[in-house]
Amino acid sequence: MGRGNKMLHSKYLTYKKCNISWVKEIPSHWIQAQLRHCVIDINNGTTTEQFDESEITKPVTRIETISLGEINWNKLGWIEPTSNDKKFLLKSGDILFSHINSLSMIGNSAIFENDKQLYHGMNLLRIQPKPEIVSRWLLYILKSKGVRNTLSAFAKPAINQASLPTHAIRSFQIPIPPHPEQLSIAAFLDRETARIDALIEKKKKLIELLKEKRTALITRAVTKGLNKEVKMKPSGIEWLGEIPEHWEVKRLKEIANINPSKSNICSDLVENDVEVSFLPMEKVGEDGIIQLNENKKISQVMNSFTYFENGDVIIAKITPCFENGKGALVQNLLNGIGFGSTEFHVWRTSPNFQKWLYYYSISGFFRKFGESSMTGAAGQKRVTTDFIKTFSVAIPPIQEIKSTTDILEGKLHDIDKLISKIDTSINKNTEYRTALISAAVTGKIRVGEE
């Protein structure tokens, strides 16, 4: 950012020590107090039964309503409110606070600033600031790193989620500046975070464009080649169009063994019950990177999981993992063998074709046609084995496969390097945003005169 992400703001003239666990000192004229002194009330929402949206239902908040740190109007529940539910209607300036969630999301908060009708639902707390407290200033306090980290430490973990007692929130100590400074801090952070967010959004869009360029480059390489001067011929496949005249068209089943049998596993490995790599779906990235940090005895996985070997191409077959591009050319498996999710398709081919088929599997047109061929109920749609086996691929001579993939990998490396550089920049902007909020709400910097 323009200032090199350094906070070149003035400080207050004098500071005093305080008894706040997450702040060492505050400006001398600020006070410290428990959060309960800043609010009218902190309470849970309506437990009225929720229904599908209809002409008689009204919107109500759910945990996911504030998962992005603001009110998401596409993530609401619906109730048929009773007269008792009137007290749960949100008012502008109310803050929603997540006290039951995954540990990383405990303390997530968002402010309601709207004249739309929205009811406060269960599993989110409503914090109602007093009239003399600036709601957006209090929101930034709650969003600051010190508060989030400290409150998370108070949370009681459970199997799938954690919870934060309301009394811990009420008694939480915070630094409080005079009302005019609350206004100044809120205005400053509104302006500065908006500027940072706009910059981050531009960079994210640039990454998306680079990813589109990456996919287009792969698709061109495996369907037309990278030599634009080569003579072309009709492929005979409508969606494939023309291909270089010296290339062939084959079905995948002609050059690869689709979902190979476990009978191919070396009997010695089975008899000795060796350890093998275990790869659940969540450890397969959308960028071809896999996390090989889990092993299991072959007897533990032999009957219930999908088998693959070094050099195999694996692709997710279920929605939305397939559409998101989960898949990899697997290497470095323990004892050369791996097992993983039953939602993988496995392609096994000769070393000459391994990289080529991997790039085919992540090309735009393969994903597009695979998605359109999916069968099954919504949320459980899958790419079938028949689609994979009969899918047509364009194949150049073996030597050209090597030269094309070498050039392609060089170009992809350059794109990936640029994406990584932009991603690093986004992380720095995000860290600066977090630090700026913390500095402003704790009085480390003075913003009132800016």
Domain ranges, ordered by start, for the chain: 21-175, 177-230+397-450, 248-395
Residues 351, 289: contact at Cβ < 8 Å? Answer: no
Q: What is the pLDDT of residue 148?
A: 95
The CA distances from residue 185 to 29, 87, 193, in Å, are: 15, 31, 12
Distance CA 290, CA 282 (A): 9
Tell me the CATH class for 21-175: alpha beta
Same fold, 21-175 and 248-395: yes
Instruction: Say what the pLDDT of residue 377 is.
Output: 85
Looking at residue 159, its pLDDT comes to: 78
Q: What is the pLDDT of residue 5?
A: 56
User: Residue 66 CA to chain centroid, in angstroms?
Assistant: 15
Cβ atoms < 10 Å from Cβ of 314:
24
Residue 42 backbone dihedrals phi, psi, to 5 degrees = -130, 115
Backbone angles phi, psi at 278, to 5 degrees: -120, 130
**Span 248-395 CATH architecture:** Alpha-Beta Complex (3.90)
The confidence score (pLDDT) of residue 3 equals 46
Q: What is the pLDDT of residue 6?
A: 57
What is the predicted pLDDT for the residue at 218? Answer: 96
- State the distance between the two ends of the chain, measured CA to CA, in whole angstroms: 18
177 with 30: CB under 8 angstroms?
Answer: yes
Residue 433 DSSP SS3: helix
338-371 CB burial, b ≥16 within 10 A, e <16: bbbbebbbbbbbeeebbbbbbbbbbbbebbeebe
DSSP code per residue over 124-156: SEEEEE-TTS-HHHHHHHHHSHHHHHHHHHH-E
The total number of residues written for the chain in this structure: 450
Three-class SS of 356-422 = HHHHHHCCHHHHHHHHHCCECCCCCCECCHHHHHHCEEEECCHHHHHHHHHHHHHHHHHHHHHHHHH
Which CATH entry fits the domain spanning 177-230+397-450: 3.40.1280.10, 1.10.287.1120, 1.10.10.10, 1.25.40.340? 1.10.287.1120
**Closest CA relative to residue 42, chosen from 165, 128, 139:** 128
Residues of the chain with pLDDT under 70: 1-8, 448-450
